[in-house]
Amino acid sequence: MTIYVDADACPVKAEIERVGTRHRVAMVIVSNGGIRPSPNPLVETVIVASGPDEADKWIAERAGPGDIVITGDIPLAAKCVEAGAQVLKHDGQVLNAQNIGNVLATRDLMADLRAADPFRQGGGRGFTKADRSRFLEALELALRRAAR
């Protein structure tokens, strides 16, 4: 069992390390750079080549059954779900075989809407304490499921 973290712009890296350490699970933090390596022996920091989706490709090639992937990237999540990994978004939302199709479709629809209206403003909502709490709960549950 390994926790793979799509670390670029991940707001819950410290929480992942704390929970992963408590469960004594290997963690791999993957990014294009700019991440300070952890001294924790359970944490491996992987710096991939710069370029679009390099971290995603690295994770997708390795994640599988028994692993947990933390990402906000929906196409990466879909690949990891297909490979049998458990996937969590940063806000604790579980992405699985039952919902990934709808999540992908919504992502694509929103991208089309943004492309059709270049003046459309807005972005995602801010990351909250409640999101962090939901994430911690979801990660605990995922680790328990993976341990079974």
CATH class of 2-147: alpha beta
pLDDT at 108: 64
pLDDT in tens, 76-92: 999 999 999 999 999 99
pLDDT at 111: 64
Measure the CA–CA gap between 85 and 32, rounded to whole angstroms.
Answer: 22
Instruction: Please indicate whether residue 29 or residue 123 has the higher confidence score (pLDDT).
Output: 29
pLDDT at 77: 93
123 pLDDT band, cuts 50/70/90, is: low
Q: How much is the pTM?
A: 0.86
Which parts of the chain are beta strand (E)?
A: 2-6, 26-31, 43-47, 68-70, 86-88, 94-95
Mean pLDDT of the chain: 88
When pLDDT is averaged across residues 10-24 and rounded to a whole number, the result is: 95
Between the alpha carbon of residue 125 and those of residues 21, 103, 122, 128, the distances in Å are 30, 17, 9, 9
Does the pLDDT value for residue 21 go beyond 90?
A: yes
pLDDT at 147: 82
Backbone φ and ψ for 99, nearest 5 degrees, come out as: -120, -10
Measure the CA–CA gap between 138 and 88, rounded to whole angstroms.
Answer: 7
Domain map of the chain by residue range?
2-147
3-state secondary structure 83-100: HCCEEECCCCCEECCCCH
Residue length of the chain: 148
122 pLDDT band, cuts 50/70/90, is: low
pLDDT at 14: 94
